């Protein structure tokens, strides 16, 4: 067999194997998994908030997450929001498919808007999360905070006019039942907790990391063949 034919066969084999070996499997995606009718817990996702003002120890923990539920909170057709019986829109706390809004100390209590995903996956994974201003006209910016079982993994603050924002990736190991929380805080680049113009895009995707021995076996199997044909 000619070397070129052999290489072609190897290339085809690698391409056929690639989707399962190289492309990480998406195990959670806050956009794709979004429940169009606001079902809490659908696909492992629950929408809620963190009342930082009411937290006696001042540090976020997994038990500080509060799921949105009636009568205080309502499914408003495309987002969870305050029932707003008094008509003042305060607190501004809300979570939608791709965006949300925290509440700042200029409007009373400090709320972080939070997306929670409970893992049904065990193993190595990467979490890719994004934050950008939706209302990029004004304000001091917002902060995204990523937690695993209440422990901070990563955080980033975007400025008030930053419509581009950031995409960040964190390596983790998950066990079934672990919870990942992505919180949207009113904290701005000036270090204050005002919420003016704080509407922001925030989301996350969890990808399973392929078993390293699968890739190793593939290359170990291919290398000796290539060497022999040189």
Of 171, 180, 186, 113, nearest to 146 by C-alpha is 180
CB of 221 to Ca ion, least distance (A): 51
Nearer to Ca ion, 178 or 195 (CB): 195
| Exposure string over 68-97, b if 16+ CB within 10 A, otherwise e | beeeebbbeeebbbbeeeeeeeebbbbbbb
24: buried, middle or exposed (CB in 10 Å: 19+, 13-18, 0-12)?
Answer: middle
Q: Where are the beta strands (DSSP E) in 52-178?
A: 65-67, 73-75, 79-82, 94-96, 99-101, 111-118, 123-133, 142-148, 151-158, 166-174
CB of 9 to Ca ion, least distance (A): 57
Would you give the binding string for Ca ion spanning residues 182-221, x where CB under 5 A is met?
----x-x---------x-----------------------
Token representation of residue 125: 């994974």
Q: Per this entry, what is the length of the chain?
A: 230
Nearer to Ca ion, 109 or 218 (CB): 109
Nearer to Ca ion, 176 or 192 (CB): 192
Confirm or reject binding of residue 37 to Ca ion (CB under 5 A): no
CB of 99 to Ca ion, least distance (A): 14
Binders of Ca ion in range 61-120 (CB under 5 A): 61, 64, 84, 86, 88, 90
The site that binds Ca ion (CB under 5 A) totals a number of residues, namely: 12
Of 209, 20, 207, nearest to 124 by C-alpha is 209
Confirm or reject binding of residue 140 to Ca ion (CB under 5 A): yes
Determine the interface stretch with Ca ion among 72-80, 132-140, 161-169, 212-220 (rule: CB under 5 A): 132-140
Residues in contact with Ca ion by CB under 5 A are 55, 57, 61, 64, 84, 86, 88, 90, 140, 186, 188, 198
């Amino acid at each position: 067999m000619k070397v070129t034919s052999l290489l072609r066969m190897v290339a085809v084999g690698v391409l056929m194997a690639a989707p399962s070996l190289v492309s990480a499997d998406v195990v959670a995606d806050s956009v794709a998994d979004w429940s169009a009718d606001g079902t809490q817990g659908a696909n492992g996702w629950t929408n809620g908030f963190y009342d930082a003002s009411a937290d006696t120890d001042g540090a976020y923990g997994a038990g500080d997450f509060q799921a949105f539920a009636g009568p205080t909170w309502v499914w408003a057709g495309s987002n969870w929001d305050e029932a707003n019986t008094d008509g003042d829109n305060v607190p501004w706390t809300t979570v939608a498919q791709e965006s949300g809004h925290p509440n700042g100390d200029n409007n009373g209590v400090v709320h972080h808007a939070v997306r929670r995903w409970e893992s049904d996956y065990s193993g190595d994974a990467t979490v890719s999360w994004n934050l950008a201003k939706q209302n990029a006209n004004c304000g001091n910016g917002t902060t995204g905070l990523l937690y695993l079982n209440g422990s901070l993994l990563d955080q980033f603050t975007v400025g008030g006019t930053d419509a581009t924002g950031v995409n960040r990736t964190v390596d983790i190991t998950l066990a079934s039942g672990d919870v990942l929380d992505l919180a949207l805080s009113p904290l701005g680049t000036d270090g204050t907790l005002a919420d003016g113009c704080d509407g922001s895009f925030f989301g996350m995707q969890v990808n399973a990391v392929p078993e390293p021995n699968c890739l190793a076996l593939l290359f170990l199997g291919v290398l000796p063949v290539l060497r022999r044909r040189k």
